[in-house]
């Protein structure tokens, strides 16, 4: 089959305008496919992550926006005493925008020592010493830093909160890279307020043997007698509930991904049909020379796959590059979904391109293979 | 045993309500090394006979044995393999693949045969030399004259050393000077290389070059003005004497 590669490639180059338009169309469609896939992967990571299943979030009952959840900080002590709880982290959350946004900035105030122990963060610039020694210090996730152009040593202000950036970090959890971490008490005193003793939520880390559902029920029951009623869920469920509206939209968006696949299919099939119809006589000549109908079919399929795959790889490459460098995320109510490139996404995109190429070539390939030699030679 | 044996070959096709029978129980023998021309008026069935012998068209009934194998019984795929190994086809309109160079066009039939790249290269170069087009090897068909294109077409037909070379009006699209060059080349293929040729033509000059001149009239094959039971048998019998 490879012996005929020059014929296939030169055949595509013969109608380069048509080929380039088809490749461009496929590229755009796979670019969108990649983005949609990345958003869905981001949501799945947040809700299905194993760690997220074994961590509980204690939030104020019937509250959704972090600005409206106010828990007493000493709830942490109460929860910490419950059997099966490994650690409890009090967190103050501040976000510049509670609604869905593509550029939401979320501050998480945590005790510095606990930040290092419960988050898997690697500093790309700056150092932990500076973070621990300055009360207004902040370390910034690289996605936010990319998006906002933030660097170490700068002061960053948003929504009346001004921090001194002492570090940039990456994380094994992509969504984390969209957060800015500060000291807990700094965020409690920020914006001229004094909310010392009040936090937004508790993050509860469980022992290996603990049952998350049973413990969540137990925590809510134990805190029921306190001044603020709570709602405790696994981190995955909490994030899914918080992003419920967005999740619905993202779920709908997967149809957009399918539409892109359909678009490529229609585009490549149309181009291939046109290419075959232009070359009825040529295929008859090839058959006269001794090419089997099956080989003609495979040559047409190869043309179709090449166009689809070339466009697909371009689109996937551009999409993944943009996802890698753009630091995109969508967030709502202090929870963000990171759009990250992934090998799985690249492979899925390439596979989709190849399969679509094959499917798009089936009918034109069959037409070419069934060409009646004599009538085709006479016709042109 | 003749190289080609055509027995009771009939071809019919429908044109609206009318049934047309261009070939009616035709018999023909062609020996190895024969140079046969086939003439006839338009629509007489000469191209139909040529296409049936070269395995690109199927007869309605009858048998065609080439080297003892009945090609009418072969499937499409088997026929394709058989053509690759046994038939060199020279078209009237050259029918070169426009995106391939002269070299690549000539190489095409060899890609279907079990052959190393170096062997292919050697054969293509010999074929290019035979048609004196070595210096045009890397030219595309659009960069060649009509005569040069036809010479590439001939090189493509002979490169795989086929059992039989068939030509459907091979000079029909050429001027008289180029026709002479092509005819000279075709004649050498038969005289010097001993290739078996079957040419369909309208041109008496082309027909006159052939040792055997056949004519199709009313679905019947006539050799040298006489209808015979098996065209070719009498010719070869006389030649044997």
pTM: 0.80
Which of B 146-175 lie inside 8 A of A, CB atoms?
156
> What ipTM describes this predicted complex?
0.91
Q: Cα–Cα distances in Å, from A71 out to A64, A95, A139, A183, A284?
A: 13, 17, 25, 17, 79
Using CA atoms, how far apart are residues A60 and A230, in angstroms rounded to an integer?
4
CB contact under 8 Å between A14 and B91, yes or no, is no
Residue B106 — pLDDT band, cuts 50, 70, 90? very high
Residue A251 — pLDDT band, cuts 50, 70, 90? confident
What does the pLDDT average to over A342-360? 94
Chain B residue numbers touching A281 (CB-CB < 8 A): 95
Nearest CA in chain B to A13: B99
CB contact under 8 Å between A11 and B99, yes or no, is yes
Using CA atoms, how far apart are residues B212 and B208, in angstroms rounded to an integer?
9
Q: pLDDT above 90 covers what percent of chain A?
A: 51
pLDDT in tens, A145-160: 988 889 999 998 887 8
For the ranges A91-95, A282-286, B12-16, B54-58, which has the lowest average pLDDT?
Answer: B12-16
pLDDT in tens, B78-89: 999 999 999 999
* pLDDT given for residue B220 in this prediction: 82
Residue B228 — pLDDT band, cuts 50, 70, 90? low
Q: Is there a contact between A280 and A376 (Cβ–Cβ < 8 Å)? A: yes
* pLDDT given for residue B224 in this prediction: 64
Residue from B95, B102, B141 whose CB has the most chain A CBs within 10 Å, to mutate = B95
In our burial notation (b when 16+ CB lie closer than 10 A, e otherwise), range A75-94 reads: bbebbeeeeebebbbbbbbb
Residue B232, pLDDT above cutoff 70: no
Distance of CA B84 to the CA centre of its chain: 13
Using CA atoms, how far apart are residues B219 and B23, in angstroms rounded to an integer?
4
* pLDDT given for residue A272 in this prediction: 92
Residue A102, pLDDT above cutoff 80: no
* pLDDT given for residue B168 in this prediction: 92
Residue A232 — pLDDT band, cuts 50, 70, 90? very high
Using CA atoms, how far apart are residues B158 and B181, in angstroms rounded to an integer?
17
pLDDT in tens, B177-217: 888 888 888 888 888 888 999 999 988 888 988 999 999 88
What does the pLDDT average to over A283-304? 95
* pLDDT given for residue A320 in this prediction: 93
Residue B6, pLDDT above cutoff 90: yes
Residue B236, pLDDT above cutoff 80: no
Residue that wins the pLDDT comparison between A189 and A183: A183
Q: Is there a contact between B157 and B175 (Cβ–Cβ < 8 Å)? A: no
Q: Which residues contact B19 (CB under 8 A, 6 or more apart)?
A: B12, B13
Number of Cβ pairs < 8 A linking chain A and chain B: 67
Residue A111, pLDDT above cutoff 90: yes
What does the pLDDT average to over B119-129? 94
CB contact under 8 Å between B89 and A288, yes or no, is yes
Using CA atoms, how far apart are residues A356 and A305, in angstroms rounded to an integer?
8
Using CA atoms, how far apart are residues A154 and A156, in angstroms rounded to an integer?
6
Sort strands B196-200 and B164-168 into parallel, antiparallel or unpaired: parallel
Q: Is there a contact between B200 and B88 (Cβ–Cβ < 8 Å)? A: no
Exposure of B194 by Cβ count < 10 A (0-12 exposed, 13-18 middle, 19+ buried)? Answer: exposed
Q: Cα–Cα distances in Å, from B48 out to A47, B44, B207?
A: 71, 9, 18
> A379 has which bridge partners?
none
User: Which of A94, A248, A223, A219 has the alpha carbon at shortest distance from A156?
Assistant: A94
Q: Is there a contact between A175 and A329 (Cβ–Cβ < 8 Å)? A: yes
Token pair 């090449």 is at which residue? A306
pLDDT in tens, A318-332: 999 999 888 788 877
* pLDDT given for residue B4 in this prediction: 94
* pLDDT given for residue A336 in this prediction: 79
pLDDT in tens, A294-320: 999 999 999 999 999 999 999 999 999
Residue B237 — pLDDT band, cuts 50, 70, 90? low
* pLDDT given for residue A124 in this prediction: 93
CB contact under 8 Å between B99 and A377, yes or no, is no
What does the pLDDT average to over A37-58? 82
What does the pLDDT average to over B106-130? 94
Chain B residue numbers touching A374 (CB-CB < 8 A): 51, 56-57
Residue A129: how many CB atoms within 10 A of its CB? Answer: 11
Using CA atoms, how far apart are residues A272 and A305, in angstroms rounded to an integer?
10
CB contact under 8 Å between B77 and A14, yes or no, is no
Q: Is there a contact between B101 and B140 (Cβ–Cβ < 8 Å)? A: yes
User: Which of A119, A334, A98, A143 has the alpha carbon at shortest distance from A239?
Assistant: A334
Q: A74: which DSSP letter? A: T
- Please provide the average confidence, as pLDDT, over all residues in chain B: 88
- Please provide the average confidence, as pLDDT, over all residues in chain A: 89
- Residue B228 φ/ψ, nearest 5 degrees: -125, 165
């Amino acid at each position: 089959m490879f012996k005929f590669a020059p014929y296939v490639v030169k055949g595509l180059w013969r109608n380069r305008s048509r080929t380039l338009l088809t490749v461009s169309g496929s590229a755009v469609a796979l670019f969108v496919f990649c983005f949609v896939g990345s958003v869905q992967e981001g949501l799945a990571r947040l809700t299905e992550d194993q760690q997220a299943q074994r961590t509980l979030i204690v939030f104020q009952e019937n509250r959704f926006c972090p600005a409206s959840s106010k828990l007493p900080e000493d709830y942490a002590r109460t929860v910490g005493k419950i059997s099966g709880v490994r650690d409890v982290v009090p967190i103050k959350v501040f976000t510049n925008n509670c609604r869905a946004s593509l550029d939401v900035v979320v501050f998480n105030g945590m005790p510095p020592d606990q930040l290092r122990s419960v988050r898997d963060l690697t500093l790309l610039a700056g150092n932990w010493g500076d973070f621990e020694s300055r009360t207004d210090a902040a370390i910034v996730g690289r996605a936010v830093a990319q998006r906002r152009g933030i660097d170490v040593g700068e002061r960053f202000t948003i929504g009346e909160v001004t921090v001194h950036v002492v570090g940039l970090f990456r994380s094994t959890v992509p969504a984390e890279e969209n957060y800015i971490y500060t000291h807990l008490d700094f965020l409690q005193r920020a914006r001229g307020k004094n909310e010392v003793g009040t936090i937004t939520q508790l993050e509860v880390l469980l022992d290996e043997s603990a049952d998350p559902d049973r413990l969540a029920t137990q925590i809510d029951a134990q805190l029921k007698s306190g001044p603020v009623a709570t709602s405790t869920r696994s981190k995955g469920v909490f994030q899914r509930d918080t992003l419920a509206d967005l999740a619905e939209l993202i779920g709908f968006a997967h149809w957009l991904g399918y539409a892109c696949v359909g678009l490529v299919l229609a585009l490549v099939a149309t181009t291939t049909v046109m290419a075959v119809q232009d070359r009825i006589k040529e295929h008859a000549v090839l058959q006269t020379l001794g090419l089997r109908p099956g080989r003609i079919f495979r040559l047409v399929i190869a043309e179709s796959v090449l166009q689809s795959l070339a466009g697909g790889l371009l689109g996937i490459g551009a999409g993944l590059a943009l996802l890698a460098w753009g630091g995109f995320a969508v967030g709502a109510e202090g929870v963000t979904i990171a759009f990250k490139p992934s090998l799985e996404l690249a492979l899925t995109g390439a596979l989709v391109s190849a399969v679509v190429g094959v499917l798009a070539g089936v009918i034109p390939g069959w037409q070419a293979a069934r060409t009646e030699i004599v009538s085709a030679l006479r016709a042109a | 045993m003749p190289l080609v044996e055509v027995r009771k070959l009939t071809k019919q096709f429908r044109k609206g309500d009318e049934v047309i029978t261009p070939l009616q129980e035709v018999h023909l023998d062609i020996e190895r090394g024969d140079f046969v021309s086939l003439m006839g008026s338009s629509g007489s069935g000469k191209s139909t006979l040529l296409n049936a012998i070269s395995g690109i068209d199927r007869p309605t009934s009858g048998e065609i044995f080439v080297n003892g194998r009945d090609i009418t019984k072969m499937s499409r795929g088997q026929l394709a393999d058989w053509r690759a190994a046994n038939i060199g086809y020279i078209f009237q309109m050259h029918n070169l693949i426009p995106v391939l160079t002269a070299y690549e066009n000539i190489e095409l039939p060899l890609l279907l045969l079990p052959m190393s790249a170096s062997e292919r290269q050697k054969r293509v170069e010999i074929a290019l030399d035979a048609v004196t087009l070595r210096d045009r090897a890397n030219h595309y068909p659009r960069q060649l004259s009509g005569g040069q294109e036809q010479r590439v077409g001939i090189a493509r037909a002979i490169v795989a050393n086929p059992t039989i070379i068939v030509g459907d009006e091979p000079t029909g699209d050429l001027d008289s000077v180029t026709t002479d060059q092509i005819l000279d080349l075709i004649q050498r293929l038969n005289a010097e290389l001993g290739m078996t040729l079957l040419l369909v033509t309208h041109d008496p000059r082309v027909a006159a070059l052939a040792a055997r001149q056949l004519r199709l009239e009313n679905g019947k094959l006539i050799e040298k003005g006489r209808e015979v039971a098996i065209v070719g048998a009498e010719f070869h019998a006389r030649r044997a004497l």
